Amino acid sequence: MNTDQNNETRQRQAEAATPILDDTAGANEDISAAYDKQIYTSNAFPFTSPGHLRAAAHLYGLNSVPLAQARVLELGCAGGGNLLPFALAYPQAQVLGVDLSAVQVAQGQQVIDALGVKNLRLQAMSLTDITPDFGQFDYIIAHGVFSWVPPEVREAMMRIVRDNLSPLGLGYISYNTYPGWKAGDIVRDAMLLHSHSAQTDEDKLASAKAMLRLLSGGIAQTNPLAPSLRAAVAQLEKHSDYYIAHEYLELFNNPCYLLEFASMAEQHDLVHVGDSEPNIELSVTYGQNVQLNHSLVALGQPRVLRQQYLDFAVGRNFRKSLLVRGDRTEQILIGPDLERLADLRWAAYFIEAPLDEATSEGMTVFRNHQNKLLYTRDTLVIQVVKALSSAWPVSLNFDTLLTARTNATI
């Protein structure tokens, strides 16, 4: 090919790329306008915090960077609420959040300044503008973003984890997954259909919610999907209007299978490690039948395929994936190693709850900070819970916990 032909080819390629870039820019504008208008409550999610990711990675056999001076980047950080507890706990760490919505970033930065937090900064920008020279980070976190952005932004997220992660760094991306979201897709399609001509956000939400009535009370007995749809609607009805608007009525909501996510990671020279809550990857968590059948069908299969099978058994609709650089593949264990729990520090706070009618003889009930109940008649569990609760908020190492639990009174 001569130079002219080369130039022509390049020009054609550039022209072909332009509409995609325009689309992304347009989509980014729509997304930032939506979040500027309807501000996202910027919460902290403990399972995304660097300390939690480091502990989870340890169970999967991976070393990571100590927290005290870690460099942390959050993509789509909204008002920085997820970064604030970490930045306060580790004043020598360097923490940066980026988000498209200038309004959310400004609000978050105001809170940070008012608290006098010096090691946390928020930046209003599109993550697609992040390049390798933006810096290296030991933890890159993106919670609740991947499924809600156009494909080019998803690509950019993978690229950033590849290019901006330090050698021992941990990436975290959460996303909606199939098969659990199949029913959710139908509910979302129906809600979008009924609300498509609404002129205001309020009307859109009202129309969308009207559709929920058809899919619950109005669903035909003969509809083969009725149980799944009813369950999806019942789940949705527990949430606020604000959640419904963001989770179901956003411009983009693209769930994917774990296998698709892992393969996209691989294309970016990253490797999928496992969920940031490793207990969800253990088939025993879902009972003996699941454990037995899963072990039969998954026998000898690669790690990620075993997990995809488990997602089918469980009907998983959300994943919180840890990613590392591709050159660490050999270091990852086939599954979380529970022996390694003994290397971690332990902290928990429970109060003993009054016995209810459902409680059988000899059972003790504890309630945690999320109002979740723990029923047990196992003396060892009771001792551990009591030892941890009386030490709270101090954490204990495994040996101290073993000693403390023998002193705990039952």
Ligand X SMILES: C[S@@+](CC[C@H](N)C(=O)[O-])C[C@H]1O[C@@H](n2cnc3c(N)ncnc32)[C@H](O)[C@@H]1O
Q: How far is the CB of 258 from ligand X (least distance, A)?
A: 20
- Residue 33 vs 284, nearer CB to ligand X: 33
Tell me the CA distances in angstroms from 331 to 66, 148, 277, 304, one per residue in order.
18, 32, 19, 15
Question: Which residue of the chain is nearest ligand X when measured via CB?
Answer: 76
Cis amide prior to 278 (ω within 30 degrees): no
Report the C-alpha gap between 8 and 155 in whole angstroms. 27
Supply the minimum distance, in Å, between the C-beta of residue 42 and ligand X. 6
Task: Name the residue nearer to ligand X (CB basis): 90 or 248.
Answer: 248
User: Closest approach of Cβ 292 to ligand X, in Å?
Assistant: 36
Per the CB < 8 A criterion, the answer to whether 161 and 140 are in contact is yes
Q: Which of the residues 130 through 149 are near ligand X (CB under 6 A)?
A: 143-145, 148-149
Tell which positions 292-351 bind ligand X, by CB under 6 A.
Answer: none
Among 128, 164, 283, 317, binds ligand X (CB under 6 A): 128
CB of 379 to ligand X, least distance (A): 40
Handedness of CA 24, 30, 36, 40 (dihedral sign): negative
Which of 59, 62, 84, 153 forms a contact with ligand X (CB under 6 A)? Answer: 153
3-class SS of residue 29: helix
Residue whose CB is less far from ligand X, 83 or 384: 83
| Least Cβ distance, residue 129 to ligand X (angstroms) | 8
Q: Which of 127, 270, 310, 388 contacts ligand X by CB under 6 A?
A: 127
- Min CB(82)–ligand X separation in Å: 6
Q: Which is nearer to ligand X, 98 or 211 (CB)?
A: 98
Q: In angstroms, what is the minimal distance from the CB of 31 to ligand X? A: 5
Contact in structure between 144 and 76 (CB atoms under 8 Å): yes
C-alpha pair distances (Å), 394 with each of 93, 127, 159, 310, 387 = 21, 37, 38, 35, 11
Sign of CA dihedral 316, 319, 322, 325: positive
Residues in 241-280 that interact with ligand X by CB under 6 A: 246
Q: Is residue 184 at the binding interface for ligand X, with CB under 6 A as the rule? A: no
3-37 vs 151-164: helix axis angle to the nearest 10? 100
The region of 72-80, 217-225, 349-357, 394-402 touching ligand X under the rule CB under 6 A is 72-80
∠ CA 311-312-314, rounded to 5°: 60
Paired residues of 96 in beta bridges? 73, 121
| Nearer residue to ligand X within complex by CB, 76 or 336 | 76
Q: Which of 315, 314, 317, 307 is nearest to 259 (CA)?
A: 307
Scanning residues 24 to 63, which ones bind ligand X (CB under 6 A)? 28, 31-32, 35, 40, 42-43
Select from 62, 50, 41, 33 the least CA-distant residue to 94. 50
Interface size with ligand X, residues (CB under 6 A): 25
Closest by alpha carbon to 120, among 89, 94, 101? 94
Q: Where do the H-state alpha helices sit in 90-225?
A: 102-115, 151-164, 181-195, 201-216
- 81-110 residues in contact with ligand X (CB under 6 A) are 98-101, 104
Query: From the CB of 102, what's the least distance to ligand X, in Å?
Result: 9
The least CB distance from residue 349 to ligand X, in Å, is 24
**Closer residue to ligand X (CB): 35 or 309:** 35
User: Which residues of this chain interact with ligand X, rule CB under 6 A?
Assistant: 28, 31-32, 35, 40, 42-43, 76-78, 98-101, 104, 126-128, 143-145, 148-149, 153, 246
